[in-house]
Every structure is written in structure tokens, then in C-alpha cells.
Structure 1
Amino acid sequence: MDKTQSIPTIDLSDFPAQYEKLRRSSEEWGCFRVVNHNIPFELMQEMKQVVRSLLDLPIQIKQNNVDVIAGSGYWAPSPKNPLYEALGLYDMASSQAVHTFCSQLDASPSQ
């Protein structure tokens, strides 16, 4: 991957035609930017605040986010990936999984 390239952009207003670009971006970059998604700006701001509040938790609390399946729990930044940090929620459609995730982090499901 050429470091002068920028993160790929997926335009949802032209989605069926963007499928191959989405697949390639996922495989080659592991991420992409989405435009024309029609998600209200206020909702995106609220989501960023919630994510930030979770990532700002003390590391001792974040480490309670244990694996449900291998590699699905908390990932701390490392020397190899100093900008990467992740919390894992295995099945967000399951109210029990959401409850478990929130309990691990001492957070509210309605946060």
C-alpha cells in the first residue's frame, strides 16, 4: 500500500456500483470512508461522544472487556499499532450481549 494514497471513499448514493471498491478497500486497507449515507450530523456527533467516553475509560476497566470469541475483546494500543484501540461487542443484536458489554465496562446501555 502506497503511503501517499488516502483512505478509500465509498459513495452510498451509487452503492451497487461501489460494491467492488468496498470489497477491495476492506481487504487492502481494512477501512474506508463513507459519504452520502444520510446519517444526521447530530447523530454522528453523539456516536463520537459515546465512543470517546468508552475509550477514555481507565485501562483497568477496558481490560474487563474479555473475549467472547478469540480476538474479540479489548485491544490496547501497541508499539506496532499505536493509534489502534478497540473494544469488542460480539453480537450487538443480542440484548444479553449488550448487557454483558455494558456490565464489563460499568456503562449504561442508554449512554
Structure 2
Amino acid sequence: MDPEVAWAWRRIVAGRGLVRVEGLAGEVGWSRKRLWSRFRAQLGLPPKRAAKLVRFDRAAHRLAAGEGAARVAAEGGYADQSHLHREVMAFTGPTPSALAAEPFLAVDHLAWPGLSLSRR
């Protein structure tokens, strides 16, 4: 993997998906098109989609921890609660409240030992 792609991925994860993808290219010294092309070729999806997934993952775990959808949306970079609702439905199918009860969210401690799920 190109060091620039790895760096961009780490920035997206560290920024909890809230980093402006347009600025990443400038930070690594590449054109936007080059970053998009390399990122997609090496990670399988473009950086903007990767950022949306990172943001969604954090939101899903906060919902599973019992936080309200309005608060998760406001603090998670969504325009409003309906934006969170649409994104949850697009990624998973169920509503945010149904997603919060999904058992797959409870296995992260097995897959990622030592990772705190409450405030990732």
C-alpha cells in the first residue's frame, strides 16, 4: 500500500469519519483524482465512502450503547436525525432503533480485544 493511502486511511479513522476528504489529497501532496484512484485501487472503495463507513460504524456503536438517535446524529456529523436514519437504512436496511438491537454489534470485543466500544 502506498504510504499516502495508508496515511489518508489513518486520518479518516482518527477523525472518526468527519475529516474533509477533499483536504486529504492536498495534505499528502497528490491531486484529488490520484488520491481517489489509488485509495480505491488499494482499499476497494473511494475515500469519501470509507469516511462515511467509519462515521456510520461509530454511530451504530453509539446507538447500540443506548444513546439517542438525535444526539448521535448531532455529535456524529450528520445534518440531522433524518440524515442518520437514511444512512443507517442505506447501509443496513433496519431503522436506527432496530440496528441498535442487532447482535452483530456485540461481538466487536471478540474481534477487536481492548477496543472500547462505549465512546469510540
Q: TM-score, normalised by structure 1?
A: 0.25
More strand by share: 1
Please tell me whether Structure 1 or Structure 2 has the larger radius of gyration of its CA atoms.
1
Larger RCO (alpha carbons 8 Å, 6+ apart): 2
More helix by share: 2
Q: TM-score, normalised by structure 2?
A: 0.24
